[in-house]
């Protein structure tokens, strides 16, 4: 049986990868962020989604876009009123 192997990363690549991950983790402390050795992609797991990107910058953009979308949903007033749900709440 023959298995394909990839060359181990060079020290400069490993250092750059660690630095990129550290910056992402500092910028998005609520997300679990990692580099997938098998995929060669950057990944983040947030409260509500799994995000994949080819570069650290792209992952940051996608996480920011998700953060903005969550903020917009939180700021929007509800389309219902508490009183409509239960009359006692309107007192």
Q: pTM score, two decimals? A: 0.65
Angular region, 40: left φ>0, alpha ψ -120 to 50, beta rest: left
- The pair phi, psi for residue 79, each rounded to 5°, is -85, 5
Q: What is the pLDDT of residue 67?
A: 79
Sequential pLDDT tens for the chain (91 residues):
555 566 666 666 889 999 999 999 999 999 999 999 999 999 999 988 999 999 999 999 999 998 776 655 655 555 555 555 555 555 4
34 closest CA partner among 48, 45, 26 = 45
């Amino acid at each position: 049986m023959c298995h394909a192997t990839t060359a181990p990363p060079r020290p400069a690549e490993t250092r750059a990868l660690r630095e990129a991950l550290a910056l992402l983790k500092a910028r998005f402390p609520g997300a679990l962020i990692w580099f997938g050795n098998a995929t060669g992609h950057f990944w983040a797991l947030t409260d509500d989604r799994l995000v994949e990107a080819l570069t650290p910058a792209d992952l940051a953009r996608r996480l920011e876009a998700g953060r903005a979308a969550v903020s917009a949903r939180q700021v929007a007033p509800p389309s219902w009123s508490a009183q409509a749900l239960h009359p006692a709440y309107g007192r």
